[in-house]
Amino acid sequence: EAGVAQSPRYKIIEKRQSVAFWCNPISGHATLYWYQQILGQGPKLLIQFQNNGVVDDSQLPKDRFSAERLKGVDSTLKIQPAKLEDSAVYLCASSFSLGSYNEQFFGPGTRLTVL
C-alpha cells in the first residue's frame, strides 16, 4: 500500500513570495491533516479535512495560509505572502476516518526555507 505522498520535498523562497504544497493521502483515507513542524518542536495541526470539508482550521493563520481538498482526495496548502517565521517542515497526514482511535500516518514532508 502506498503511503502519503507530498511534493515538493524542499522549497526555498524569499519573504513575501507565495508557495504551494501538494499532498495525496493513503488510498481510502477520508481524513487529511496538515501540520507545521518548526525545528526542535512537535508537529502542530493547521487544518483537518474530512473528505472535501474542513473539520477544524482553528490554528490556521487565515490571513496568509489557505488549504483546499476540492475532490476529497489530494490537497493543497498555500502560503501567501510568506514570512520568515513560516520556515518549517509542512507535514501531511491521513487517517481512515475521524474517530479518535484512527491512526494517523505522515508523508515525508516539505521543508520550507523563507529567506
Partner 1 sequence: QKEVEQNSGPLSVPEGAIASLNCTYSDRGSQSFFWYRQYSGKSPELIMSIYSNGDKEDGRFTAQLNKASQYVSLLIRDSQPSDSATYLCAVNPPAGNMLTFGGGTRLMVKP
Residue placing its CB nearer to partner 1 in the complex, 4 or 19: 4
Residues found near partner 1 in the complex (CB under 8 A) = 31, 33, 40-45, 48, 55-56, 89, 91, 95, 97-109
CB 88 within 8 A of CB 79: no
Q: How far is the CB of 81 from partner 1 (least distance, A)?
A: 26
User: Measuring CA to CA, which residue among 50, 82, 51 is closest to residue 66?
Assistant: 82
Question: In this structure, how many other beta carbons lie within 10 angstroms of the beta carbon of residue 84?
Answer: 10
Residue placing its CB nearer to partner 1 in the complex, 18 or 97: 97
